Structure 1
Amino acid sequence: MKLSEIKSALKGLNTIAFQLPNGTLVPNHFHVTEVGKITKHFIDCGGTVRNEEVVNFQLWNANDYDHRLHPEKLVSIIELSEKVLGIEDLEIEVEYQAETIGKFGLEFDGTNFLLTTKQTDCLAQDQCGIPAKKPKLKMADINNAPTCTPGGGCC
């Protein structure tokens, strides 16, 4: 989800709810403690220099049960971040505390913001000797394939 998409979704909501990948909701007394731009400048294992930028939201639970972050307040925090930090319309990554800090993608289902799982990956698989995935074939498709016949010239 991009920054413009969350701002648009927030404008139609009365409350904000974030749902973890396991279906549980982040406690409704959470705070967004940071909105920022993270720039990752790195070299992959194949020697290619890469740059990635994301908008980062950090969610945090406090013992402050009496205050709730309202949609209009989060929109104002986002707009201030865009202005002061020069944040563009980038993809959002969410940090949330589990056993350690977890990084999540973000989607919206019309009601809740869904924290989606992220996976590591090798960006230079062709350089690392990792074999390409073989296509999965259905046996039914193989049986319908043309076959060679004696004298047919295909062998």
Structure 2
Amino acid sequence: MKLSEIKNLLPELNDVEFQLENGTFVPEHFHVTEIGLITKHFIDCGGTIRDEKVINFQLWNANDNDHRLKPAKLLNIVKLSEDKLGIQDAKVEVEYQTETIGKYDLDFNGKHFVLKNKQTACLASDSCGSSSAKPKVQLSAGSSSCCAPNAGCC
């Protein structure tokens, strides 16, 4: 989800709610403690130099159980970050701590923002030799197989 999409959704919402993919909600008294631009300049395993930019929201649970971030307040924080940091429209990722600090992609299900689990991937699979396809294996048939019924291997 891009920052422009969030800015378009916020005026239509009564509450700002974040939900993990497993259905668990971020507690209502969360704070958005940071909005920032993260730039990653790296080389993949195939030797290609890459640049990525994402906008990062950091969510934090405080002891302030009466705190509720309203959509207008979050929109003001977003606009402040655009003005002060020169943030342009880009994909948003969210940092949120469960057992450890996790990074999530962001989606919207019509009512809540959804923290989507991120996955790693090889960016150069065509040049580094990795393959996402599993090799096909020929299984032998017949009673000589060690996994035949009553063969004693299981």
Overall identity of the aligned pairs, in %: 66
The residue number in structure 2 matching 1:82 is 82
The residue number in structure 1 matching 2:51 is 51
Contact 2:15 2:71 in 1 (8 A): yes
Residues in 2 aligned to 1:104 and 1:87: alpha-carbon distance in whole angstroms: 19
Alpha-carbon offset, residue 58 of structure 1: 0.2
Which residue identity does 1:57 align to in structure 2? F
Alpha-carbon offset, residue 133 of structure 1: 3.0
User: Any stretches of 5+ residues in structure 1 without a counterpart?
Assistant: 135-155
Alpha-carbon offset, residue 84 of structure 1: 0.9
The residue number in structure 1 matching 2:39 is 39
Residue 12 of structure 2 aligns to a residue in which SS? coil
- Report whether the alignment pairs 1:98 with 2:95: no
Which aligned pairs between 1:65-76 and structure 2 lie closer than 5 A?
65-76=65-76
- Give deviations 1:15-69, integer Å, cap 9, x for gaps: 1100011101100000000001000000111111100000000000000011111
Residues in 2 aligned to 1:55 and 1:128: alpha-carbon distance in whole angstroms: 30
Residues in 2 aligned to 1:27 and 1:99: alpha-carbon distance in whole angstroms: 15
- Give deviations 1:106-132, integer Å, cap 9, x for gaps: 011111000001101111111211135
**Length-normalised TM-score, structure 2:** 0.84
Residues in 2 aligned to 1:93 and 1:125: alpha-carbon distance in whole angstroms: 24
User: Any stretches of 5+ residues in structure 2 without a counterpart?
Assistant: 135-154
Residue 115 of structure 2 aligns to a residue in which SS? strand
Residues in 1 aligned to 2:87 and 2:46: alpha-carbon distance in whole angstroms: 30
Residue 68 of structure 2 aligns to a residue in which SS? coil
Residues in 1 aligned to 2:23 and 2:62: alpha-carbon distance in whole angstroms: 21
Aligned residues: 134
**Length-normalised TM-score, structure 1:** 0.84
Which residue identity does 1:42 align to in structure 2? F
Residues in 2 aligned to 1:43 and 1:110: alpha-carbon distance in whole angstroms: 37
- Give deviations 1:68-107, integer Å, cap 9, x for gaps: 1110000000001011111111000000001111000001
